[in-house]
Structure 1
Amino acid sequence: MVLGNPLTMVLPFYLRLTWIFLASIVTQLVFMTFLCIHHMFTCAVDDYFTSGSSINPSERTYPEEMIQSGISTIDVMNSIARGQKIPLFSAAGLPHNEIAAQICRQAGLVKRLEKSDNLLEDDGEDNFAIVFAAMGVNMETAQFFKRDFEENGSMERVTLFLNLANDPTIERIITPRIALTTAEYLAYECGKHVLVILTDMSSYADALREVSAAREEVPGRRGYPGYMYTDLATIYERAGRIEGRKGSITQIPILTMPNDDITHPTPDLTGYITEGQIYIDRQLHNRQIYPPINVLPSLSRLMKSAIGEGMTRRDHSDVSNQVRMAICSTNICVPLSLITPGLLHAKGS
C-alpha cells in the first residue's frame, strides 16, 4: 500500500478555506459599497422615502389646538386637534365626496390667543396646507374634485393626487404613501400644519387584497390579507406632531362601508388605530339633511385638547354636551311618540 505525501493531501483543504475566506471578504466589500451608494442617493432626496414610517412614540408630542372644518357638527360636537387621525365612515350613495370638497374649501386653523391677545405666529393662513389623495375613483368623481377646487380657489393650497379606477392596482397602493410623504415635507421642513384627506380607503384595502391574492398569500377575514391591520397602521400612524418641529399632520381618511356594515374589516380595523370617527347616516341623508352626520355614534377622542379657553371658547365643552343631551332626548321621545301620541308636545318634553 502506497501512501501519498501528507502535504499534498492537506494543501487543497487549506486552499479551499482560503478561497472561502477571500470570497466572504469580497462579499462584505460589495455589500458595504452598495450601502454607501444607497446612502448617497437617499441623502440626495433629504431622506424622504415614499414608503415612509410611523412616528417614533418617544418623539411625539400630544395633539393640541384645533383645525376647523367649516362644518358645525364636526367643529362643535367632534372637534379635530392638530395631529389627530379621525376617519369619515360613509357608504355608497352618501355625499362623502361633497363633504370632503367642502372641508377643503372651508378648513383652516383656529387662531389661538395668548394672554397678551396677540395671535401666535404659526396660526396664519400661510401656515396651513391640504394634501388630497383620491384612490380608485371614476372619471366623473375626479373631475368633480378638480373642478370644485379650481372654481372655489382652494387649489392654491391643495396638493392633489388622483388615482383613477382604471389605473394599475399598484398605483392605488402607493398613492396614499406619496401623499403622506408630501405632507411630511410640508409639515416638518416647511413648518406648515397639513390636513391630509384620503379617499377612498376601502378602494385601497381592495387593492391590497388583490395584490395579496396574486401573490398567493393566505387570506384572512373576507379574503383580506392577515397583515392589513399592520399595513393600515403604517399609513394612519404617520399623522401627528414631532417634538421640536413646528408643523403637524392631521388625517381624515374616508371609508365607504359595503352594505353600511360597520363591522366590515376595513372600518373595523381602522377604528382600532384611529382616534375616533365621524359617521355619515343614511337616514339623515334620506331626510335631505346636509351634511348627514350623526353626532351620537361620532366621536373625537382628542377633542378635549383642541377646545377650551384660549383655543375656542370657555363653554365649548358645555355647549357640546348640552346639544348631545338634547339630541339623545329627542331620539328617545320620537319612538315613544308612536305609542303615546302628543308626547313630543307635552310639557317638559
Structure 2
Amino acid sequence: MKRVLALRESHPKETRAALSPESAKKLAGLGLSVTVEQGLGDRAGYSDEDYRQAGAAVAERSKALPEAEIILRVRKPEDSEIETLPTGVLHLSFLDPFNESALIQKLAAKKVNAVSVEMIPRSTIAQKMDALSSQANLAGYAAVVLASDRMQKILPMMMTPAGTISPSRFFIIGVGVAGLQAIATAKRLGARVEAFDTRPVVEEQVRSLGAKFVKVDLGDTGQTDQGYAKELTPEQMEKQRLEMAKACARADVVITTAKLFGRKAPVILNEAVLEQMKPGSIVVDLAVESGGNVAGSKVGEDVITANGVKIIGPENLEGYYPKDATQMLGANFANFIEHFWDAEQQAFVYRTEDEILSGSLITRDGEIVHEKFKA
C-alpha cells in the first residue's frame, strides 16, 4: 500500500494546503494510505478531525516523513528540507523549474522523483489536474473583489431618487484564465468592462462575456503551443502601451494578468501610462510576484503614485480564498495520482510515454529527465 503524505506549508503567506478532506477520501478509496501533517488545513478552514473523518491519519512531520512514498505540497521545498526527503519519493508541488536550476539539481542528487505541477500540459485530458489554471481562476475573481473593496465608488449602475450613478469601468489586460474570470466577475457585479490581449483569437471569448475587446494591430503575435501569449518585440510593446493608455485613462480599475511562463513578467504599464490615469483609480498587478506588469508595483504593498493612482501588488492572491483554493488544488493532485494509478498493482506507474508525465516530471532516479532542463 502506497503511503501518501501531505505536508503543511511553512511560508508565512501561504494559506492553501495540498490536500482537502474530500481529496484525501478519494485517494484512500484508491487504496492509498493517506497521512496529513498536523495542522495541514488550519489556514484553509479544515481541522485535523476533518481529515481523520475522511480516512486520513494525522501525524507529526518527523514521524511520517521517513515512510512517505508520495509527498504532496503547494510550494517548492526549502533547501534545508531536501535532505530530509526519502530517497525515491514521488514529490508533487509547484517548483518554478525555469528559475530554480539549483533546486532541481539538489532534488536529482537526492533521487527525488519531482513533478512540477505548473508544467502539466494544457490539454483536454489534463484539465482536471491543471493546478495552474484552477488557481488562476481564483486569482482573477479575487482581483476584482479586492479592487471593489478599495474603490471610491460602486460597480453597478444605480438609479436612485438622488440621481443615476454610472457604472464603474474596468480594463482587464491579458485574457488568460485569470483574465477571463476577472472579466466575468466584474460583469456580474455590474461594471462596464474592456479587455485586451495580444492574441486576437480571444476576442470572441471576451465578447461572449459581455465585455468590449480593445483592438490593437500588433502584426504577427499568436500564442505558444501551451496557450500562452508569445513575447512581443520592443516595437510591438510600445504600440501596445500607446493604445492601452487610452483605455487606462478612462478606467476606474485596471487589472494586469500578463505573465510569461518561466520568465520575468513584462512591464506593460509604465510611468507615462500611469500619469494619464484618473486620481483615485486602482491598478491590480497580478504578475507582481514574477516581476510585475506595472512600474513601481511592490509585492504585498499598496503604492500611491504622484497623481493619486493606487497600485496594488497582492501576494499569494490565489490563496485569498484558501478553502476553495485547497479544494481545487487537492482535486488536481488527486486526479493526477489517479491518472497514473494501477489498481491491480496498487502502484503509481511512471508511464513516461504519457504527455502529462513527460511534460511535468523533472527529475527521476537521480537524473534530470525533462528535456527542457537537462542542460
Give the structure, 1 or 2, with the largest relative contact order (CA under 8 Å, sep 6 or more). 1
Instruction: Give the number of the structure whose residues are more often helix, by fraction.
Output: 1
Q: Report the TM-score when normalising by structure 1.
A: 0.29
Q: Which has the larger radius of gyration?
A: 1
Q: Report the TM-score when normalising by structure 2.
A: 0.27
